[in-house]
Amino acid sequence: MLIDCHSHIHVDAFDSDRKEVIKRAQAAGVEKIINVGFDVEGNFKAIALANEYDFIYATMGIHPHAASEWNEEVGEKIIETCKCEPKVVALGEMGLDYYKNFQPRELQLSVLRAQLAIAQKLELPVIIHCRDAFNDLFEMLPHFQLKNVLLHCFTGTLEEARVGWSRGYYMAFTGIITYPSAGSLREVFRGCPINLMVAETDCPYLPPIPNRGKRNEPAFLRDTVSYMMSLRKDVDSSILSANSIKLFSL
């Protein structure tokens, strides 16, 4: 069994063949998909999709790139919706992106803080997107009592990874791990505690080899997971699935 912990199949890139993509995922052994929202409009599309398919779950969050969409009303609506939509299993993606820096840092920080406060209140796990911002992220997270933290599509250093593991944060690996240039990520993977690792596609982005350059989809998770298993003898898909089930209380 495979669980895709992070996909965006609600986006336009799948409008022409979403049903087929979902069928291919099931045929490839993907038994659960966490479909992650990242902006106001997409959050509701993600929930609608999760309500159509038993094995698809949804999350709600405002990505750092979309931080300008945030206001108090957006936060209230997230709280209200989470309370009445049982398929919403986490908040996020939320976080800090100082690599792209599409939004001012102060705004990214305050929007993240506001969402962490909601996650604490609702006792939901959080999916964190963090690029080149681990100092600020690691400073902020302990100010909140959070059920579970997932560092999605982790691309930080081994030192940063160790801080995360020491606090019990889960870590998700994408197709990036299959890329020839990803030597340092493979080092992080080799050091990752077995009980904290999960796998994700982040589709339509980041397809694993041999589909690099194409649109990614949940069925390709198979290639990422086989590659992870080839790197570590103690890793198998049932451990990754068990971790995902625990992380999101599926």
The only residue of 129, 131, 186, 222 in contact with Zn ion, by rule CB under 5 A? 129
The stretch among 14-22, 84-92, 154-162, 196-204 that binds Zn ion (CB under 5 A) is 196-204
Q: Which C-beta is closer to Zn ion: that of 39 or that of 202? A: 202
The stretch among 15-23, 70-78, 125-133, 136-144 that binds Zn ion (CB under 5 A) is 125-133
Interior CA angle at 128 toward 122 and 129, to 5°? Answer: 145
Instruction: Compute the least distance from the CB of residue 38 to Zn ion, in Å.
Output: 6
Instruction: Compute the least distance from the CB of residue 174 to Zn ion, in Å.
Output: 9
Which residue is nearest to Zn ion, using beta carbons?
129
Q: Which C-beta is closer to Zn ion: that of 202 or that of 223? A: 202
The stretch among 83-91, 127-135, 142-150, 207-215 that binds Zn ion (CB under 5 A) is 127-135
Quote the CA–CA distance of 3 and 5 in Å, as a whole number: 6
Q: How many CB atoms lie within 10 A of CB 8?
A: 21
Instruction: Compute the least distance from the CB of residue 127 to Zn ion, in Å.
Output: 8
Q: Which C-beta is closer to Zn ion: that of 32 or that of 129? A: 129
The stretch among 18-26, 27-35, 200-208, 209-217 that binds Zn ion (CB under 5 A) is 200-208
Instruction: Compute the least distance from the CB of residue 133 to Zn ion, in Å.
Output: 12
The phi and psi torsions of 71 (rounded to 5 degrees) equal: -155, 175
Q: How many CB atoms lie within 10 A of CB 242?
A: 15
The stretch among 82-90, 195-203, 215-223, 225-233 that binds Zn ion (CB under 5 A) is 195-203
Instruction: Compute the least distance from the CB of residue 8 to Zn ion, in Å.
Output: 6
Site residues (CB under 5 A) for Zn ion, limited to 132-151: none
45 is an interface residue for Zn ion by CB under 5 A: no
List of residues contacting Zn ion (CB under 5 A): 129, 202
